[in-house]
């Protein structure tokens, strides 16, 4: 059956006020963040034209960058960028409906209207074909999908725990690193780089994409502390030749130094040798007294990030210049202790990679299950 025959669609309204602590008569406010599991609850005063969702409804993001994201089992007043899908009769299980709508997120996103603020096209949503087996069969299918989703959630939780271990490991080995409490000697970054190198940024005007050109690493290619090479821009060899100083050797620490992402860090690898970098990226080659894994993780700590924020110049676009990067204060523990940290981090990264691969397999399996579920093949 067509989804529009099974559910009514009710758009939310902008509340008069949003508060963290409810007053008399206030209701829970459901916003886009509430469609994720870790949102902090917010509340709003009652209003005559409010749209209230109950746990039997499916809530979908109707407008904005998250259009198509959905959830179910929530109760409260829905905000202006959301809509409620409410079953018109009792012949449909909420979990079954909710999983179906989730399975169509990408399909709906690709068909959104609006260049500036994308929004779901009602006609496309209503025209979706939803198989309607008996309610008992709907619940069986929903339970299978929920069990698969629970496994994915556990894997994501494990990854979050592994990510937090990095910070804990750094703190355990090196202790406090804040100014005034750090027990290690402090040196400016410019004094810690390789003697045969200097900190520099890359290509200012890369020009058009050149199919047979030299790969260019931009901040948008940073993925965690790695570089995703799948969508690298390529620049003409003649432009690359003008920026030989910023060409990668495969052993650098890369630091974002322009724009809203100032302070992001990635590690160059041998696979990036010969690539170049964009203007918004600075390359740093660690010298003999500093381990590059220690340096990369230190640059992500609160003291280092605070220094970057303090030094950032916002004339037109936020920028860290080379001199400011060179003046970054860096604690210098014994090199043996730094390398011990590097060895432990390497082992931890291998474990993370294994978990990421497992999660990718689970995601692929879940997508397959969704397709089969709504083709009547489960």
pLDDT tens sequence for the chain (378 residues): 999 999 999 999 999 999 999 999 999 999 998 887 667 899 999 998 899 999 999 999 999 888 999 999 999 999 999 999 999 988 899 999 999 999 999 999 889 988 778 899 999 999 999 999 999 999 999 999 999 999 998 998 888 888 888 889 999 999 999 888 999 999 999 999 998 899 999 999 999 988 889 999 999 999 888 999 988 999 999 999 999 999 999 999 999 999 889 999 999 999 999 999 999 999 999 999 999 999 999 999 999 999 999 988 766 678 899 999 999 999 999 999 999 999 999 999 899 889 888 988 998 989 899 889 998 887
Cα–Cα distance between 123 and 28 in angstroms, integer?
Answer: 30
60 vs 79: CA distance, rounded Å:
11
In this structure, the number of other CB atoms found within 10 A of the CB of residue 108 comes to 22
Q: How far apart are CA 231 and CA 211, in angstroms?
A: 12
* Pairing outcome for strands 281-284 and 253-256: antiparallel
CATH number of the domain within which 373 lies = 1.10.287.1120
What's the pLDDT score for residue 38? 67
CATH number at residue 264: 3.90.220.20
Contact predicate 24/46, CB 8 Å: no
Residues 172 and 199 grouped into a single domain: no
Please list, residue by residue across 84-106, b when 16 or more beta carbons sit within 10 angstroms of its beta carbon and e when fewer do.
bbbbeeeebbbbbbbbbbbbbbe
With vertex at residue 95, the alpha carbon angle to CA 91 and CA 100, rounded to the nearest 5 degrees, is 90
Instruction: Give residues with Cβ within 8 angstroms of 332, minimum separation 6.
Output: 184, 185, 186, 187, 192, 289, 290
Radius of gyration of the chain (CA): 26
Same-domain check for residues 294 and 189: yes
Query: d(Cα 358, Cα 161) in Å, to the nearest integer?
Result: 15
CB environment 37-55: b (16+ within 10 A), e (fewer): eeeeebbbbeeeebbbbee
Looking at the structure, tell me whether residues 299 and 343 fall in a common domain. no
| 197/326 same-domain check | yes
For 199, other C-beta atoms within 10 Å of its C-beta total 20
Indicate whether 233 and 313 sit together in one domain.
yes
Q: Where in 270-364 does DSSP place strands (E)?
A: 276-277, 281-284, 313-315, 317-319, 329-331
CB atoms within 10 A of CB 316: 6
Same-domain pairing of 57 and 99: yes
Residue 319: strand pairing partners = 258, 313
Q: Are residues 31 and 108 in the same domain?
A: yes
Number of domains present in the structure of the chain? 3
On whether both 169 and 262 belong to a single domain, the answer is no
265 beta partners:
255
Q: CA geometry: angle at 230 spanning 317 and 319, to 5°?
A: 15
Judgement on whether residues 243 and 309 belong to the same structural domain of the protein: yes
pLDDT of residue 163: 82
Residues 75 and 191 in one domain: no
What are φ and ψ of residue 330, in 5° steps?
Answer: -130, 125
Q: CA dist 37 to 26, 70, 144, Å?
A: 22, 12, 20
- Residue 54 CB-half CA count within 13 A: 3
Residues in the chain: 378
CA-CA-CA-CA torsion sign (12, 18, 19, 22): negative
Question: Please, are residues 69 and 59 in contact by the beta-carbon 8 Å criterion?
Answer: no
Could you give the CA distance from residue 315 to residue 200 in angstroms, rounded to a whole number?
A: 20
pLDDT 10s digits, 144-168: 999 999 999 899 888 888 888 888 9
Is residue 356 domain-shared with residue 218, that is, in the same domain? no
- Domain encompassing residue 280: 185-331
DSSP string, 55-107: TTSEEEE-BSTTTT-EEES--EEE-TTEEEEEESSSSS-HHHHHHHHHHTHHH
Q: Are residues 38 and 146 in the same domain?
A: no
Give the tokens for residue 148: 């698969």
């Amino acid at each position: 059956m067509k989804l529009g025959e099974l559910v009514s669609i009710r758009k939310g309204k902008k509340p008069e006020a949003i508060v963290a602590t409810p007053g008399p008569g206030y209701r829970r406010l459901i916003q886009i963040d509430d469609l994720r599991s870790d949102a902090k609850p917010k509340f709003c005063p009652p209003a005559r034209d409010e749209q209230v969702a109950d746990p039997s409804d499916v809530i979908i993001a109707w407008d904005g960058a998250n259009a198509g994201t959905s959830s179910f089992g929530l109760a409260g007043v829905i905000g202006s960028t959301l809509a409620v899908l409410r079953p018109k009769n009792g012949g449909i299980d909420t979990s079954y409906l909710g999983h179906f709508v989730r399975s169509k997120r990408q399909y709906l996103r690709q068909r959104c209207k609006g260049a500036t603020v994308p929004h779901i096209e009602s006609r496309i949503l209503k025209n979706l074909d939803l198989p309607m087996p008996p309610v008992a069969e709907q619940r069986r299918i929903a339970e299978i999908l929920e069990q698969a989703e629970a496994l994915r959630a556990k894997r994501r939780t494990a990854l979050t725990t592994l990510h937090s271990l990095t910070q804990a490991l750094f703190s355990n080995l090196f202790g406090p690193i804040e100014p005034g409490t750090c027990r290690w000697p402090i040196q400016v970054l410019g004094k810690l780089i390789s003697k045969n190198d200097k900190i520099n940024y890359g290509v200012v005007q890369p020009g058009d994409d050149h199919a047979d050109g030299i790969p260019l690493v931009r901040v948008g290619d940073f993925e965690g502390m790695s570089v995703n090479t799948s969508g690298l821009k390529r620049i003409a060899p003649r432009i690359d030749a003008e920026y030989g100083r910023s060409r990668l050797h495969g052993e650098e620490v890369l630091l974002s130094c322009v724009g809203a992402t100032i302070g992001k860090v990635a590690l160059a690898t041998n696979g990036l040798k010969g690539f170049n970098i964009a203007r918004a990226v600075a390359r740093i080659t660690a010298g003999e007294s500093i381990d590059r894994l220690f340096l990369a993780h230190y640059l992500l700590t609160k003291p280092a990030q605070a220094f970057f924020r303090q030094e950032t110049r916002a004339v037109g676009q936020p920028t860290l210049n080379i001199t400011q990067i060179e003046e970054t204060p860096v604690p210098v523990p014994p090199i043996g202790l730094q390398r011990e940290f590097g060895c432990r981090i390497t082992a931890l990264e291998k474990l993370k990679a294994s978990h990421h691969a497992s999660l990718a397999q689970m995601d692929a399996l879940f997508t397959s299950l969704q397709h089969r579920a709504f083709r009547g093949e489960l």
